């Protein structure tokens, strides 16, 4: 009976690992595609926010924080360049707007479901993974994007 339970636990763990790996691959594919959407910043931010929100939610699902950190570090290593490109594009796009346009854009973005979820997850994520510099940098840039620098 113990052997059966041990085998079952190993099987479930390996399935979860494979599922997380496929999710990381999907994040990479989506963010890479988003970098090519330079003419459509709204779609870029939608994809970015969706990916970040999913990553935070998935990492919070780990009971062992060390496993969550491994997942986050893999996400970072696979996607940091794409995220940097998207954020630079968005900063350039917002920088070219008048103050009234910025306010209208930010108000419309804050109403979107991905942004609401992101805002709700940030405190939980930061509490569990305080030491992650990568996320702090992204979070600060997005705060500047939404609320001005």
pLDDT at 51: 94
**pLDDT tens digits along 57-92:** 999 888 888 888 899 999 999 999 999 999 999 888
pLDDT at 1: 61
Spell out the residues 6+ positions from residue 99 whose beta carbon is closer than 8 angstroms to its own: none
Distance CA 2, CA 110 (A): 51
DSSP annotation of 1 reads -
Instruction: Compute the average pLDDT of residues 117-134.
Output: 81
pLDDT at 37: 87
- pLDDT band for position 17 (cuts 50, 70, 90): low
- This prediction has a pTM of 0.77
**pLDDT tens digits along 35-49:** 998 888 888 989 999
- Residue in the structure block whose two tokens are 């779609």: 43
Q: What is the DSSP string of 66-122?
A: HHHHHHHHHHHHHHHHHHHHHHHHHHHHHHTS-HHHHHHHHHHHHTSHHHHHHHHHH
Query: What is the torsional sign of CA 23, 27, 28, 29?
Result: positive
- pLDDT band for position 29 (cuts 50, 70, 90): very high
Residue % of the chain over a pLDDT of 70: 82
CA of residue 112 relative to chain centroid, distance = 15
- pLDDT band for position 14 (cuts 50, 70, 90): very low
């Amino acid at each position: 009976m113990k052997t059966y339970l041990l085998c079952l636990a190993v099987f479930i763990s390996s399935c979860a690992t494979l599922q997380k790996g496929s999710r990381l691959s999907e994040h990479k594919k989506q963010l890479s595609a988003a970098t090519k959407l330079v003419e459509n910043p709204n779609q870029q931010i939608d994809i970015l926010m969706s990916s970040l929100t999913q990553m935070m939610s998935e990492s919070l699902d780990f009971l062992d924080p060390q496993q969550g950190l491994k997942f986050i570090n893999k996400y970072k290593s696979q996607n940091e360049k794409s995220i940097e490109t998207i954020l630079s594009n968005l900063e350039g796009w917002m920088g070219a707007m008048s103050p009234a346009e910025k306010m209208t854009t930010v108000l419309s973005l804050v109403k979107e479901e991905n942004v609401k979820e992101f805002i709700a997850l940030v405190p939980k994520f930061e509490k569990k993974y305080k030491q992650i510099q990568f996320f702090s940098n992204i979070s600060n840039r997005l705060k500047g994007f939404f609320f001005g620098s």
